[in-house]
Amino acid sequence: MPQATSKLNAFPVFMRVEGEAVAIVGGGQEALAKARLIGQSSAVLRIITDAAEAELLAFIAANGAIHIAAAYDAAHLEGAVMVFAASGDEALDRRVAEDARRLGIPVNAVDRPDLCDFFTPALVNRAPVAIAVGTEGAGPVLAQMLRGKIDRMLSPSLGPLASLAASLRGAERLLPKGNARRRFWSDFFGGAPARAMEAGQLSQAHDAAVDLLLSNAPSSGHIALVGAGPGAEDLLTLRAHRLLMEADVIVHDALVPEAIVAMGRRDAERLPVGKRKGCHTKSQAEINALLIELGRDGKRVVRLKSGDPLVFGRAGEEMAALRDAGIAYEVVPGVTAAFAAAADFELPLTLRGVSSSMVFTTGHDLKGNSLPDWAKLAISGATVAVYMGRSVAAEVAGRLIEAGLSPDTAVAVVENASLANRRRFHGTLADLPSLEVRADLAGPVMTIIGDAVAGANFERSEPLAAHRHEGAAQTAAEGAKR
């Protein structure tokens, strides 16, 4: 376990290079890699080689770099603020390093840490924001892996937002020092200006920043209706994760795993409003009122819903309530349970020549005397994904069989789709009523019905028929009469 007193042998700094010369000695891939790295800055590139490869020559032409097409000489380094020895030849790289030190210029020799005055980091570029990841040369691959993770976390709009912030630094004098300025910048980076920039609306972001500056009032609240996906943390979208990290309050359903809620800010308030079958901690009207209250209090809220908020998530009611109250909101889609269940089964939801359409529904849509339209689509070949259908499995099967769907139609069932403890079952429509008597299924169940299901991978699934209770076919028929 690393000791708390561990100290860095290389201290990270940011060097000013605007308009300054950076010299790179070499003509191959090592020199090209350094040229691409430094080319992200406003430095003047000076590339020294009499044997440049074609790719490096193309880079020089495209980026306006200075090419000294001659054998290396120490005089070529004069006036540079940094030097890279990238020839691939150890003797030449050592000579370059010694010359640079004699001239008082910091030097980096590619893949030769003993010759380096500094190390180049893995760089996350959101200019003018830059994040550098270094390992003191011990693990370049590790640095690249970390860079990739950080890069995915940060919005592409961060750079333009930071540039807009820089343009307002003088105007912040309108605000008194202390809490007022801190509140302004917090609202700037987490409020309306940031949201407008995220949407690519530069002028609206500027106007929102000016309004915020002149009003000297807290930013208005914002609600994000976020899909948490089917349960696996790594199926959460990058945008959803960013919003969770920015949220003041996380309002979450019961089916959202704690591991996903915990991905939010540690100091965020967490409000469970979950609904499970037969157990509602809050009514939908109470949830709507809570979101409006939080929005009016200026809170940044993530309304975290299992799966996708627009698929049986009652997002329509919440959006209507927020619109009527004048509260800003956005919708962030998630991986809905049907897609996760299909992936668990390697099941094609559409299959050329078999099924070209699909239906999302709940088993409770079969209540009443008339068949819903989707049942007719199932008979004509659509793949049907049934949410929350375990307790009405017999009725689903019975009504579909009565309507003309073959009892031999393929069925796939997944409990806890996408999670490590998922369970998979396969069978036919005639086997489906057995789900109702399964006391061992405690998690959410997704059922997929249709001819395309026959193309699934059933190797790691259990047959429904093995649990089919006596008279299942009769139960299905009786379900049709309910």
What's the pLDDT score for residue 41?
93
Statement to judge: residues 343 and 465 lie in one domain: yes
Encode pLDDT of 401-434 as tens digits. 888 889 999 999 999 999 999 999 999 999 999 8
CATH number of the CATH domain containing 262 = 3.40.1010.10
Q: Which of 89, 151, 207, 275 is catalytic?
A: 275
The DSSP-derived string for 60-93 is HHHHT-EEE-S---GGGGTTEEEEEE-SS-HHHH
Q: What is the mean pLDDT of the chain?
A: 87
Cβ atoms of 279 and 255 closer than 8 Å: no
Can you tell me the distance from the alpha carbon of 46 to that of 63, in angstroms, rounded to the nearest whole number? 11
Q: What single-letter DSSP state applies at residue 267?
A: T
- Locate tokens 């000076």: which residue? 46
CATH of the domain at 468: 3.30.950.10
210 and 230 housed in the same domain:
no
In a domain, 197, yes or no: yes
CA 260 to chain centre: 12
pTM over 0.85: no
Angle at the Cα of 366 from the Cα atoms of 360 and 369, rounded to 5 degrees: 145
Q: Confirm if 476 and 408 have CB atoms less than 8 A apart.
A: no
- Average pLDDT estimate for 240-266: 90
Domain boundary among 192, 215, 238: 215
482 pLDDT higher than 50? no
Same domain, yes or no, for 364 and 417? yes
Kindly state whether residue 128 falls inside one of the protein's structural domains: no
What is the pLDDT confidence band of residue 35, given thresholds at 50, 70 and 90? Answer: very high
365 and 324, same domain (yes or no) = no
Name the residue with tokens 């019905």: 449
pLDDT of residue 373: 72
Same-domain pairing of 226 and 200: no
> What percent of the chain has a predicted confidence (pLDDT) above 90?
52
Long-range contacts of 141-144 (CB under 8 A, 24+ apart): none
Q: How far is CA 450 from the centre of its chain?
A: 32
262 and 286 belong to one structural domain: yes
Domain that holds residue 187: 158-215
**357, 332 Cβ separation under 8 angstroms:** no
Most distant CA pair in the chain: distance in Å?
95
- Residue tagged active-site, from 99, 187, 248, 253: 253
- Rounded to 5 degrees, φ, ψ at 167 are -70, -15
253 has catalytic annotation: yes
Residue 138 counted as domain residue: no
> Quick one: which H or E segment has residue 324?
helix 315-325
Q: How far apart are CA 381 and CA 452, in angstroms?
A: 9
Number of domains in the chain: 4
Residue 45's CB is within 10 A of a number of other CB atoms, namely 20
- Of 286, 309, 332, the domain-final residue: 332
Query: Do 350 and 461 sit in the same domain of this protein?
Result: yes
Instruction: List the CATH number of the domain containing 85.
Output: 3.40.50.720
Q: What is the mean pLDDT of residues 9-14?
A: 85
Residue 241's Cβ-side half-sphere holds a number of Cα atoms within 13 Å equal to 16
Domain-embedded: residue 149? no
Residue 282 shares a structural domain with residue 413: no
Residue 129 lies in a domain: no
From CA 253, how far away is CA 83, in angstroms rounded?
A: 56
- The verdict on 312 and 380 lying in the same domain is no
| Cα distance between residue 462 and residue 439, in whole Å | 16
Q: How much is the average pLDDT of 104-109?
A: 96
Numbers of helices and strands, H then E, in the chain: 16, 20
Q: Which helix (H) or strand (E) holds 99?
A: helix 90-102
Average pLDDT on 301-312 reads 94
Residues 177 and 231 in one domain: no
For 119-150, the pLDDT digits (tens) are: 888 889 898 888 989 888 777 789 889 988 88
